[in-house]
Chains A and B, each alone.
Chain A
Amino acid sequence: MPFTRLDEKHKRSIRKLISPDRFSDGESHCNLHARDQSFHPPCPPDAVVWPKTAEEVSQILAYANTHGIPIVGWGSGSSLEGNPIPVCGGVILDFSEMNQILDIREADFQVVVQPGLVYQDLNHALRHTGLFFPPDPGARATIGGMIANNASGTRTVYYGSTKDYVLRLKVVMANGDIVEIGGRSAKSSSGYNLNQLFIGSEGTLGIIVEATLRLTGTPEDFSAVIATFPSVESAGKAVFEIRRSGLSPAALELLGPECIELFNIQADLGLTVSPTLFIEFHGASKAYMAEMIDICRMICEENGSEQFEAGLGRQERDRLFEARHDLGEMIVRNHPGCAILVMDVAVPPSAYPEMIGFARREIAKSGLTGYVFSHAGDGNLHLNIAGETGNTDHWQVIDAMVLRIVNNALSLGGTATGEHGVGIGKRKFMEAEHGRSLELMKRIKNLFDPKGILNPGKIFPEDP
């Protein structure tokens, strides 16, 4: 569908809908909204708008829908699959000025927030309430972006992902209608669960302008472990056994030796360079956690673990988590002149050791530098591969490898993307992953956004 580029007339009209200091078509503002943290090429929008109210968003969408102007929501641009890159131009709605906590309902374990709120800032504001919002994708992701992407992180294995924490949404539809969906009760069997339709929709069905989130109690105590293994495969096997034994770790992260080396160089962590599991338990009593750690130690040792260091202090644990969250950036810094392709496959628990072995062999065959790290407890595997920018040989090898790895994940009953979303790069796997249900998705998209103005060029394999 051809879209309308913003000419001077449209710019004047949109500027009138909000205060003029919250509209910009300046080159630097547009360039700041041209790329996310992925390797996908930048593409600037025609203009950027910073809305402050749902009504402003509504008016802009109504105008854009009438005139066929693409609209893309923007949180902090920390996504990893090109999800908010305005590939068809149009207007970016930057939610950094809609970042307020509207209501903290402590007794209900709920909070009402605006979409531009950064999740770390939410948790900081909640720090004395005994409550927190668990999904932790790292970077400084916003709640709106996290919902649109169904973000998850290191604690998802225990606490779940963003989808488990959304109770109610206020959404502006493509035509400007403001709709509230969901409710504030802990459970409901009433009708279709529209919340889940918007969660992970990457801004293609509507624009989220307010969310009521579920919170959970801050863990009273934690216990953290670092365990090293002779091979990534043996570490992967231990992960599977830990899950099968019924232990519920709050984090179960696997890091390839190449990642540990990077931690040591860039974060000065002084760890043993080996395939490593980082495991954390949350609980109310030391005795309970000591028991968990004992079982965990037994499983790790059975799978050949060489070092099993329990009882990490809080500072040490926090530094490790911080390094883990910075790993993507560390890899980028370690490869100047390269673009980093980020893979995000996820498979069922029993298939996890096989999947990680397959990925390792593929990297070895390619002759390129790859980093394996994983939210192992979720069967979610990250593979970051460095290819020289503009080196077509590299990228041919990478593209072919990605295809084989994703196909392998799908054949094991998995998905092309565990948490980064489809965005631009994973559209080509949609047909293989979803088969005929992709057609249903298209019909839903068409129902919500008949003119296709909401984040065009994402999720669906067709052009644009």
Chain B
Amino acid sequence: MEIVVLLKQVPSTESLVEIAADGVSIKTDDIKWVMNPYDELAVEEALKIRESGEGQVTILTIGPEKAVEAMRTALAMGADKGVRIDPGDLRLDGLGTAKVLAAALKEMPYDLIIAGHRAVDDDNYQAGPAVAELLGIPNISMVIKQDISDGKIQCHRTVEGGTVVIESPLPALITTQRGLNEPRYASLPGIMKAKKKPVDVKPIADLGLDENALAGKTTIAALTPPPERKGGRVLDGDTAQDKVTALVNALRDEAKAI
């Protein structure tokens, strides 16, 4: 079984995010970069599938040279090799990312592609399903359990109030949701071995894509931080009754919640 994991390096959710001077990007100087948490689930699931049979796990990412750090983490967890597409100065939106990934995948063997259902930096939810569409293979999103047999994959995904079980022939692309697994921790020998594992680097130009067609169909017009939270207020009143009256008034007249 050839499994490809689509991986993205993202700012750690614990990093302090500040808007850069251009107003449409974030300051990256002090940011700690990590593997997208949903991609960790994808790596773990790929390793589990490989351990139950034969095959190999390849990590595919688009990113600058530092993106290789997140890839090395996946290799330290146990993945076999990596492919990094260097985007150069090109700025890719969700669809552009999917086009690049699909072009790279067309040159690789795969029976199953696993991706996080979204990246926690831009929250686009697009790359996985768009890649499947461009490759003409089935896509099952937000998977919390999977089972492969006889060339088919059966997946569970949650929907409001229940679970849907979906089956599809392979090759297919699935995206991960929390609950799918508990990603393993890297070991020191694993980290050492990862340094020697092969990572191919390809400039985007080598994929034979028309760079004009990749240019974003969407552009970021502006970024704004969420509004600052205001402090709470203690309601006046001597008795519980007075306070409840004040609360009801505040909910009705000020918050317009009731």
A220 interface neighbour in B35, B73, B182, B189, Cβ under 8 Å: B189
How many A-B pairs have beta carbons closer than 8 Å: the answer is 40
- Which of B183, B184, B186, B190 has the largest number of chain A CB atoms within 10 A? B186
Considering the chains assembled together, what is the distance between the CA atoms of A130 and B185 in angstroms?
A: 7
Query: Does A361 belong to the interface (CB within 8 Å)?
Result: no
**Closest partner residue, chain A, to B34 (CB atom):** A128
A218 interface neighbour in B73, B183, B187, Cβ under 8 Å: B187
Considering the chains assembled together, what is the distance between the CA atoms of A318 and B189 in angstroms?
A: 22
Q: How many chain B residues touch the partner (CB < 8 A)?
A: 16
**Closest partner residue, chain A, to B194 (CB atom):** A130
**Closest partner residue, chain B, to A131 (CB atom):** B188
B173-204 vs A, CB cutoff 8 Å, 1 = contact: the mask equals: 00000000111111111110000000000000
Given contacts A128-B73, A128-B76, A130-B76, contact A218 B188 (CB under 8 A): yes
Q: Which residues of B contact A219 (CB under 8 A)?
A: 187
**Closest partner residue, chain A, to B183 (CB atom):** A127
The answer to whether B187 and A127 touch across the interface, beta carbons within 8 angstroms, is no
Q: Which residues of A contact B181 (CB under 8 A)?
A: 315
B32-66 vs A, CB cutoff 8 Å, 1 = contact: the mask equals: 00110000000000001000000000000000000
Q: Which residues of A contact B185 (CB under 8 A)?
A: 123, 126-128, 130, 132, 218
Considering the chains assembled together, what is the distance between the CA atoms of A315 and B188 in angstroms?
A: 22
**Closest partner residue, chain B, to A284 (CB atom):** B189
- Which of A126, A129, A130, A314 has the largest number of chain B CB atoms within 10 A? A130
Q: Which residues of B contact A127 (CB under 8 A)?
A: 183, 185-186
Q: Which residues of A contact B187 (CB under 8 A)?
A: 130, 217-220
Q: Which residues of B contact A218 (CB under 8 A)?
A: 185-188
Q: Which residues of A contact B184 (CB under 8 A)?
A: 314
- Nearest Cβ distance between residue A56 and chain B, in whole angstroms? 21
- Nearest Cβ distance between residue A351 and chain B, in whole angstroms? 36
Q: Which residues of A contact B182 (CB under 8 A)?
A: 318
The answer to whether A130 and B191 touch across the interface, beta carbons within 8 angstroms, is yes
Q: Which residues of A contact B183 (CB under 8 A)?
A: 127
Considering the chains assembled together, what is the distance between the CA atoms of A132 and B190 in angstroms?
A: 14
Considering the chains assembled together, what is the distance between the CA atoms of A314 and B78 in angstroms?
A: 15
Q: Which residues of B contact A318 (CB under 8 A)?
A: 182
The answer to whether B188 and A128 touch across the interface, beta carbons within 8 angstroms, is no
- Nearest Cβ distance between residue B91 and chain A, in whole angstroms? 28
**Closest partner residue, chain B, to A282 (CB atom):** B187
Given contacts A218-B185, A314-B184, contact A130 B190 (CB under 8 A): yes
Considering the chains assembled together, what is the distance between the CA atoms of A127 and B183 in angstroms?
A: 9
Q: Which residues of A contact B34 (CB under 8 A)?
A: 128
- Which of B73, B181, B182, B185 has the largest number of chain A CB atoms within 10 A? B185
The answer to whether B188 and A130 touch across the interface, beta carbons within 8 angstroms, is yes
A313-339 vs B, CB cutoff 8 Å, 1 = contact: the mask equals: 011001000000000000000000000
- Nearest Cβ distance between residue A226 and chain B, in whole angstroms? 20
Given contacts A123-B185, A127-B185, contact A220 B190 (CB under 8 A): yes
Kindly identify, within residues 204 to 251 of chain A, every residue whose CB is under 8 Å from any CB belonging to chain B: 217-220
Considering the chains assembled together, what is the distance between the CA atoms of A205 and B35 in angstroms?
A: 43
Kindly identify, within residues 129 to 160 of chain A, every residue whose CB is under 8 Å from any CB belonging to chain B: 129-132
Q: Which residues of B contact A315 (CB under 8 A)?
A: 181
Q: Which residues of A contact B186 (CB under 8 A)?
A: 127-130, 218
Q: Which residues of B contact A220 (CB under 8 A)?
A: 187-190
- Nearest Cβ distance between residue B169 and chain A, in whole angstroms? 26
Kindly identify, within residues 291 to 347 of chain A, every residue whose CB is under 8 Å from any CB belonging to chain B: 314-315, 318
Considering the chains assembled together, what is the distance between the CA atoms of A126 and B34 in angstroms?
A: 12
A-B pairs with beta carbons under 8 Å apart, 28 shown: A126-B185, A127-B183, A127-B185, A128-B35, A128-B73, A128-B76, A128-B185, A130-B185, A130-B186, A130-B187, A130-B188, A130-B189, A130-B190, A130-B191, A131-B188, A132-B185, A217-B187, A217-B188, A217-B189, A218-B187, A218-B188, A220-B187, A220-B188, A220-B189, A220-B190, A284-B189, A314-B48, A314-B184
Q: A128-B35, A130-B188 are in contact. List 5 more A-B contacts (CB 8 A).
A: A127-B185, A128-B73, A130-B191, A131-B188, A217-B187
Give the 3 A-B residue pairs with the shortest CB-CB distance, closest first.
A130-B188, A220-B187, A217-B188
